[in-house]
Structure 1
Amino acid sequence: MCTISSLLFKLPSKILINILSRLPIPTILSCKCVCKPLLNLLSTPEFAASHLPLSTPGLLIRQFEYDTESCKIFQLEDESNELQHHNLHYNLVMEFDLRKSLGLSDYSLWSVGSVNGLVCLKSYGTEPYDAIYICNPITRQYIALPGIENDFVESPVFYEYGFGQSKISGQYKVVRNVHRHNDLPEERCSDIQNYECLVYTIGTRSWRSVETGPPFGHYHLSYSLFLNGNLHGFSQDYCGNTDMLISCFDLEAESFRPFPPPPPSRELRALGTLGILEECLCFLDNSSEFDGIIVIWVMKEYGVEESWTKQFVISNSEGLVGSYYDKVYPIKAFKDGDILLSWMNYNLFYFRNKTKTCQKLDLLIQDYLGSIDAIPHCSSFLSLKSFAGENVLLFSPAKLPVWPLKRPRSINHTRAGPNKFWANKVGIGRK
């Protein structure tokens, strides 16, 4: 053991863990290579638990183009001051090819959700069912969930997946809703042939059937959003009187429960998405056909219908989003009221609340011709080996993640006018 390491380990382990957990992730990963005692300490559940609340929230962005599927993880530093501008500082934590890291060749992956650094992925491939993976990019670990017997392969089929953590027991769970029905709109409710809800608790290696909620159809309006121990989805009620509703699945009780509907919107009520901003559920109404206005409603008090508040009106999105029926998803709200959003998995754009203008945000994906999948992500050192019974695998050594030791980059919006993008001299502007 080196002299520095010997001095460090004279400190009580709690103090040493507290110190090391405040280091940047690339530095922590480098410390794992110093000596075996440090590696063992940084691999303990105590260190993972100490680091998690100190981890800087960020983004996980996956890019798809032809046969390439790269993954980038960013940390975002939310800084604001009294000046009339906002600097978005970010740090590229790591970059890798997720599909090849999991040893997949003919599969396309899509993000179900991210909770405490664990990412749930759904694959589409040649198999007659969707394969589900849970991975931690920082620890380079992943598990493949067991396949589901008697899966539905006929069309039309609606699938909805969700990933979250139960509020009391702290168990991580994957929820799968599926139903197959007649394709004729007038016969949907009367001709639902199969409908089920399955739950998988990480560590049990088995799917369990639970009581279903009302038949649904999401039409890719929103994913199952994890908030306050529940999964939420904006869906269509096939058999009820309400056109659109918010489904709510309690991960602790493993049951659906009533939830207040979204706020009143325009005639085309289906043109909306759910999101989470500042730990509050929000609803984006994108139903305006002609004026391109996006209205963001925020549920200030969770579960209280009267707390829906119209908080943002975005009206300068021309050139950043497509036609009125396209969907916009919120990703992050900043301290000064600015918002980072995604349009139809093609563009990331930034809404400045003070000037009411929008700007395209490239985040090292400039001149990219494929689609993107961007979700909030908070990196952690939680080991999948802590889930007894799971077969934990490591990323393929052929494509190890790259951890760049670079200073945080800064996107300065001071000089940017509406629908324009300006970056400082860090090589991230448009070419």
Structure 2
Amino acid sequence: MTTLPCEIVNDILSCLPPKSLQRFKLVSKPWGSLISDPNFVESHLRRAYTISQGDHNANLLRVGQIGGILYQSGDLGWALYHMNSEGLNRKVVMIEHDDFARCIDLAGILGTCNGLFLVLIITRPSKMCILWNPSSRKCKTIPPYHVPSDMALVISGLGYESSSRNYKGVVVYSPCTPWTSQGAYGNKEFLCLVYNYKNNSWTRKYESDYDLFDFSHSWDVATVNGVPHWCVFRIDQQNFSKTYLIVYFDLENENFKVLVGLPEWGIEEMKFHLGVLGDCLCMSVLSQESLGGTEVWAMKEYGISESWMKLFVIPHSSTRLWPLCFRGKKEVLIAELDEEGITYSENLLIFNLKENTLRDFSTHDNYSRGFHFFTYVASLVSPEEHENQL
């Protein structure tokens, strides 16, 4: 039997899903070494991103409290629920950990990048953070961070610094009572904490520059090219006027920087949300006064304000809609937001680009409490060398 050249074997393996590759590690030592090699992992990731764009292979994950799944105490259990954009391969993974004997009070996703999730788990005595890959179901417990009890989380994200092959997480907290006596945010002090994967530690950062931004309405993180982005506004200290900006977290210098200001159509009177669609930053815009529907725009050239392009309009939509991913060339998977623009409804929608129609896409996940959906690509990125199982 003729042996295939190594280049062809590598190419074939790089096309396979992570679940299969995890099994193929056991075929032989050379295959195990190849699949575990960081260069192969990055090559597989690049191909996964290419395949997922405009394809039916996008994956979705949400975290919430599952009805009907009870611990012995009678409390509802928190779970991670994932599926692909076709609604197939649905799976519920209960969040449990040996470090905590009591039930989980709250769980949330702080950020995602390259198929890896940063998850915050709060229990009655304390809290913990984990890095988790839903494709391989491998996780790593990382040190928890500590903040004053009078501060609340306003934004978070996870990014990848490619030059050092290092993942970094960022969380920003603000006082629970943000408004000053003048009704402005000028004297507000934000607390930023940064997680460094290589050092496996959190670093606190108090910087006056953060006070120039208001993060309080920036729930939505959009990760492009491994960098997390948010929409914030800057306060003019003279007249307290607001200017909306898209900022990103510089992973190398560990500070926030302005990418661009919002275009003319992204005015204060509109309800808008930042996201990612087709590997580009996108914004869904709903005018508070107009019945024209929801406009979806994409920044075709990263960092260039003039490159915003209107992709499509969802007509007659009176609620906040947020595109999650394309389904082929004809459809877009849409999430419906509540009035505060913070959480999603239980089900998703599908918008047909050619027919301009919406239809329901039921998730059937039976959540009594639920949070945002996140899209991700299936990857081999491992939380650590010796993984725990979740």
Q: TM-score, normalised by structure 1?
A: 0.71
How much has 1:340 moved relative to structure 2?
1.5
Calculate percent identity across the aligned residue pairs: 25
What code does the residue aligned with 1:376 have?
T
Q: Which runs of 5+ in 2 are unaligned?
A: 53-57, 68-75, 338-343
Assess, with a 3 A threshold, how the Cα gap between structure 1 residues 33 and 284 changes in structure 2: closer, same or farther.
same
How much has 1:174 moved relative to structure 2?
0.5
In structure 1, C-alpha distance between the alignment counterparts of 2:365 and 2:154, rounded to whole Å: 33
Assess, with a 3 A threshold, how the Cα gap between structure 1 residues 102 and 296 changes in structure 2: closer, same or farther.
farther
In structure 1, C-alpha distance between the alignment counterparts of 2:217 and 2:258, rounded to whole Å: 21
Matched, 1:199 2:198: no
Match for residue 22 of structure 1? 15
What code does the residue aligned with 2:66 have?
E
SS of residue in 2 equivalent to 1:19: helix
Contact 1:350 1:361 in 2 (8 A): yes
What code does the residue aligned with 1:309 have?
M
Match for residue 126 of structure 1? 124
The equivalent position to 2:154 in structure 1, one of 131, 151, 159, is 159
Matched, 1:328 2:326: no
Match for residue 253 of structure 2? 253
Matched, 1:114 2:112: yes
Match for residue 65 of structure 2? 64
Deviation digits for residues 140-162 of structure 1, max 9, x if unmatched?
3212232234x12115x343111
What code does the residue aligned with 1:142 have?
C
Match for residue 395 of structure 1? 389
Assess, with a 3 A threshold, how the Cα gap between structure 1 residues 290 and 24 changes in structure 2: closer, same or farther.
same
How much has 1:233 moved relative to structure 2?
0.6
In structure 2, C-alpha distance between the alignment counterparts of 1:90 and 1:122, rounded to whole Å: 26
How much has 1:355 moved relative to structure 2?
1.3
In structure 2, C-alpha distance between the alignment counterparts of 1:359 and 1:336, rounded to whole Å: 17
Deviation digits for residues 136-185 of structure 1, max 9, x if unmatched?
12333212232234x12115x34311111124333211112222264436
What code does the residue aligned with 1:53 have?
R
Contact 1:231 1:249 in 2 (8 A): yes
Match for residue 170 of structure 1? 165
Alignment of 1:244-283 (within 5 A): 244-265=244-265, 268-269=268-269, 271-283=271-283
How much has 1:121 moved relative to structure 2?
1.6
The equivalent position to 1:51 in structure 2, one of 40, 44, 49, is 44
How much has 1:188 moved relative to structure 2?
4.1
What code does the residue aligned with 1:394 have?
N
Assess, with a 3 A threshold, how the Cα gap between structure 1 residues 223 and 123 changes in structure 2: closer, same or farther.
farther
Match for residue 224 of structure 2? 227
In structure 2, C-alpha distance between the alignment counterparts of 1:102 and 1:284, rounded to whole Å: 41
Higher strand share: 2
Assess, with a 3 A threshold, how the Cα gap between structure 1 residues 354 and 152 changes in structure 2: closer, same or farther.
same
Assess, with a 3 A threshold, how the Cα gap between structure 1 residues 103 and 330 changes in structure 2: closer, same or farther.
farther
How much has 1:52 moved relative to structure 2?
2.1
Match for residue 380 of structure 1? 379
In structure 2, C-alpha distance between the alignment counterparts of 1:148 and 1:27, rounded to whole Å: 35
In structure 2, C-alpha distance between the alignment counterparts of 1:209 and 1:372, rounded to whole Å: 27
Match for residue 72 of structure 2? none
In structure 1, C-alpha distance between the alignment counterparts of 2:301 and 2:139, rounded to whole Å: 36
In structure 1, C-alpha distance between the alignment counterparts of 2:254 and 2:358, rounded to whole Å: 40
Assess, with a 3 A threshold, how the Cα gap between structure 1 residues 244 and 182 changes in structure 2: closer, same or farther.
same
Assess, with a 3 A threshold, how the Cα gap between structure 1 residues 208 and 100 changes in structure 2: closer, same or farther.
closer
Assess, with a 3 A threshold, how the Cα gap between structure 1 residues 310 and 267 changes in structure 2: closer, same or farther.
same
How much has 1:216 moved relative to structure 2?
4.2
Contact 1:288 1:294 in 2 (8 A): no
How much has 1:348 moved relative to structure 2?
1.2
What code does the residue aligned with 1:306 have?
E
SS of residue in 2 equivalent to 1:28: helix
What code does the residue aligned with 1:119 have?
F
What code does the residue aligned with 2:149 have?
V
How much has 1:332 moved relative to structure 2?
1.0
Contact 2:271 2:285 in 1 (8 A): yes
The equivalent position to 2:93 in structure 1, one of 93, 97, 102, is 97
How much has 1:116 moved relative to structure 2?
1.7
Matched, 1:140 2:133: no
Assess, with a 3 A threshold, how the Cα gap between structure 1 residues 196 and 375 changes in structure 2: closer, same or farther.
same
In structure 2, C-alpha distance between the alignment counterparts of 1:367 and 1:385, rounded to whole Å: 32
Contact 2:25 2:32 in 1 (8 A): yes
In structure 1, C-alpha distance between the alignment counterparts of 2:84 and 2:193, rounded to whole Å: 34
Assess, with a 3 A threshold, how the Cα gap between structure 1 residues 152 and 304 changes in structure 2: closer, same or farther.
same
Alignment of 1:294-305 (within 5 A): 294-305=294-305
Deviation digits for residues 260-318 of structure 1, max 9, x if unmatched?
2222347753621101111221111123356271112222222122222333211144x
Q: TM-score, normalised by structure 2?
A: 0.78
Assess, with a 3 A threshold, how the Cα gap between structure 1 residues 220 and 132 changes in structure 2: closer, same or farther.
farther
How much has 1:222 moved relative to structure 2?
3.6
How much has 1:201 moved relative to structure 2?
1.7
What code does the residue aligned with 1:198 have?
L
What code does the residue aligned with 1:244 have?
Y
Contact 2:115 2:133 in 1 (8 A): yes
